Structure 1
Amino acid sequence: MAKTGRCDFSELKKFAKHLEKQEIKAKAMIERCINDLGAEVLARAKLRTPVDTGDLRRAWTVSSITRTGNCYKVIVSNNLEYAAYVEYGHRTVNHRKWVPGKFMLTISTKEVDKLTPAVLERRVRNFLNQVMRYD
């Protein structure tokens, strides 16, 4: 005849509760990452922005985080009417020459896109190390 054994699941239950608490911290960590990456794009775009009066450089902004499903997003933008002309280029007033664009935001976004996987990997690894250390 088989004997029934006893098993103490108290530590497993404690760990499950610990993981439930970490969900809030995980969302906060994701939002910090998104904000930091947006700030990095902003900083790089500002450095690349040519300065005449300084208005164009001062007009860069980062939106607050928006979330749609599992997609988090921030928008880096410049609302000055001539920002797009400086970014992508334009014809001169007499329409004879082309002034090349500076691609301040385009280049900055591509650079940060290349850095993103390494940054996220490091932050997620640190977060998981903290999650697995519990009392």
Structure 2
Amino acid sequence: MGKNVDYKQFEQFKKKLEKTLSDESRQKFMEDCAKELAARLLSRVIKLSPTKTSALKKQWSIDNKIINVEKVGGTYHCTIFNSIDYASYVNYGHRTRGHGGWVDGQFFLEISENEVNALAPALLEKRLMEYMKEAFK
């Protein structure tokens, strides 16, 4: 009454799943997600930066035009920066010359971060679904 069972397809599926979900593959997936979020943040902060002289807009960048991802514990970090020395004053606000008044900050970096944080869950869910579909093809 015994039945013969062919496990070849199951073994093939197991190998594909192990390859797709390997430590290296997961690391690359996480880095790619971090890079995409950093690129979106950079794009938004450039758009929101004041354009009085356009110098502030032009100086936003990522190290060497390449988005580097650093993993610290379980968190992935990407750095974007603006090399204009007065960027923080425009963003956060500053006293006027002679300290007679205050110029309000425009908070373009925080606004950009909030926008990216709002879209991140949907974007990451979509990327995760694409990543997992690869394992189940």
Structure 1, residues 73-126: CA drift from partner, whole Å, max 9, x if none? 112221321111011000110211110111111110011001100110111112
The CA deviation at 1:5 is 6.7
CA distance in 1, matches of 2:62, 2:93: 23
Aligned to 1:98: 102
Aligned to 2:71: 67
2:86 maps to which of 79, 82, 86 = 82
CA distance in 2, matches of 1:62, 1:15: 40
1:1-135 to 2 correspondences below 5 Å: 7-22=5-20, 23=22, 24-63=24-63, 64-133=68-137
Partner SS state of residue 94, structure 1: helix
TM-score by length of 1: 0.84
Q: What letter corresponds to residue 10 of structure 2 in structure 1? A: L
Name stretches of at least 5 consecutive residues in structure 2 with no aligned partner.
none
Partner SS state of residue 61, structure 1: strand
CA distance in 2, matches of 1:105, 1:79: 14
CA distance in 1, matches of 2:43, 2:123: 17
CA distance in 1, matches of 2:13, 2:75: 28
CA distance in 2, matches of 1:31, 1:115: 18
Root mean square deviation, CA, Å: 2.0
TM-score by length of 2: 0.83
**Range that drifts further, 107-116 or 54-63:** 54-63
CA distance in 1, matches of 2:92, 2:12: 56
CA distance in 1, matches of 2:38, 2:122: 15
